[in-house]
A and B are shown apart, each in its own frame.
Chain A
Amino acid sequence: MPEAAIQVRGVRKEFGGIVALDRIDLDVAAGEFVCLLGPSGCGKSTLLNAIAGFTRPSSGEILAFGKRVLQPEPARAMVFQEYALFPWMTVRENVSFGLQIRGDRGAYQKADALLDKLALRGFGDRYPKDLSGGMRQRVALARALALDAPMLLMDEPFGALDALTRRSMQDELLRIWTELKQTIVFVTHGIEESLLLADPRGGDDVSSRNSEENRNGSASPPARRGGARVLHRSPGHHAARPRGAAASRARRREPTRVPRPDAAARPHWMETRGA
């Protein structure tokens, strides 16, 4: 078992008499990609905000890398659904903001390098209002990545995007995760999205998702997905794949957890309250 990134122990959260979370236990190992899936109002964002340190649990405790969470920290970088880019800062200023706070002299250069990587080259001097939703979310992602945080907390980050943009952002995120191996907690109400990002079967069909055929728009038939799963089990096959990254992810990937959408299999803390 690798190092524990997040340990949630018996967390309860009340807002003026309304119980949002009750007796929550959750363990996330370092380097894991975990989706929190549930309907609106079930408390998944509340849990994420508590992990981020924006709110304190009414009782219970949350540990991040063994230390108790008491306040927000750059080590747990948050990506918000509404992007939360500072509209008065240019894209470059937004991305380098955390680095500047840290006193990094090469903040702008690092920001520009990240913008290049996220296909935002040439947009550094623009303001967020000049960008499309997908671009804004890429900037928000770049801002979160700028500090090399070991943990990314993502609150329905692609919820406001159109289906095609969302799909390419999901691919982008998986690519980043494969490369940087952060611990990612991803809140979503999209069953499909959660299955795509954190597969309950062990993320085995990741390689087929990233295949060129898929990018060209031809949906992968079930057989193809099945084939990808076989790929996961035979490391020899991986070497033959053009996308080594996908293969290596499949190898090192820990079993990930997706709380099932059906009520019976849903963990107790996912119970819908007043939704």
Chain B
Amino acid sequence: MRALRSIAVIAAALAVWEIVCRAAHVSPAILPPPSQVARKWWEYLVTGELPRDAVATLLRVFVGFAIGAGLALPLGLWMGARERIYELLNPIVQLLRPIPPIAFIPLAILWFGLGNPPAFFLISLGAFFPVLMSTIAGVRTVDAIYVRAAQNLGAPARTLFWRVLFPGAMPSILSGMRVGIGVAFIVVIVAEMIAVNSGLGYRILEAREYFWSDKILAGMISIGVIGLAIDTVMARINHRLLRWHRGLEHA
């Protein structure tokens, strides 16, 4: 029922778009009607161009995210668990964090040239800070009562960390990862527009050169669908890993 309603709303929006384009004789170079976009999208798909672009983009997102989150997670755990380390590193983290990854594009190209390396660098940078911040906060906000309970049961420091602090921080870490992969997906499109010549971001910029507005829109819609798919998968993973936590925040 709910799905049906959602489909109806989307269909209505598309119908309005179609009618406006036809009734007002909008130039297809400015805003093509959805029927034309759909035809173009199909063409883009069956020629194998869209799958290739999507794979290239997703590969960059995953490699970049893996690097960024892979560095941020241990550092965040360390900073969260050790007050001294936190005090030492927090100022520099706070200083670098507000700089948007996009601002690193000129340096990234100077350092890494063109192609995948600067893209990986920018994407990992985009994923790094959300994961880092949420990991630090997650460890630091584990309720002291759990630490006491574990100490009372005789837990040595190592057990305390892996069986109490780490799982206790997990909800925060995972929500940081969800944000991080979202940022990574934004950054990948920008990076592809500037530093790389493949992928969805590159493709819509290329289409602009020829005034192929239908292809731009087809690419944009593909980006939206893939972004939604990534987020849905992340939400599923969170849900699975946090069986114990589900509904706890409303209890």
Q: What is the chain B residue whose CB lies nearest that of A127?
A: B244
| C-alpha spacing A197/B76, complex, angstroms | 47
Q: What is the chain B residue whose CB lies nearest that of A98?
A: B153
Chain B residues, CB < 8 A from A129: 244-248, 251
Closest chain A CB from B195 CB (angstroms): 41
| C-alpha spacing A80/B248, complex, angstroms | 19
Chain B residues, CB < 8 A from A97: 150, 153, 155, 163
Q: What is the chain B residue whose CB lies nearest that of A126?
A: B244
Q: Does A84 contact B (CB under 8 A)?
A: yes
Interface residues on A, range: 20 to 34
The reply to whether B245 and A72 form a contact with Cβ atoms under 8 Å apart is: no
Q: In the complex where A97-B163, A129-B244, A129-B251 touch, is A88 in contact with B170 (Cβ < 8 A)?
A: yes
Closest chain B CB from A146 CB (angstroms): 9
Closest chain B CB from A151 CB (angstroms): 11
The reply to whether B243 and A101 form a contact with Cβ atoms under 8 Å apart is: no
Q: Does B151 contact A (CB under 8 A)?
A: yes
Main DSSP-derived SS at the A contact region = loop
What total of chain B residues lie within 8 Å of the partner, measured CB to CB? 24
Main DSSP-derived SS at the B contact region = helix
Chain A residues, CB < 8 A from B151: 54, 71-72
| C-alpha spacing A102/B167, complex, angstroms | 20
Q: What is the chain A residue whose CB lies nearest that of B160?
A: A101
Closest chain A CB from B130 CB (angstroms): 22
The reply to whether B167 and A80 form a contact with Cβ atoms under 8 Å apart is: no
Q: Does A73 contact B (CB under 8 A)?
A: yes
Can you list 28 A-B contacts (CB < 8 A)? Answer: A52-B152, A54-B148, A54-B152, A72-B152, A74-B152, A74-B154, A76-B152, A78-B149, A78-B152, A80-B145, A80-B148, A82-B145, A84-B145, A84-B146, A84-B148, A86-B150, A87-B245, A88-B170, A89-B244, A97-B150, A97-B155, A101-B156, A102-B154, A127-B244, A129-B246, A143-B153, A147-B153, A147-B154
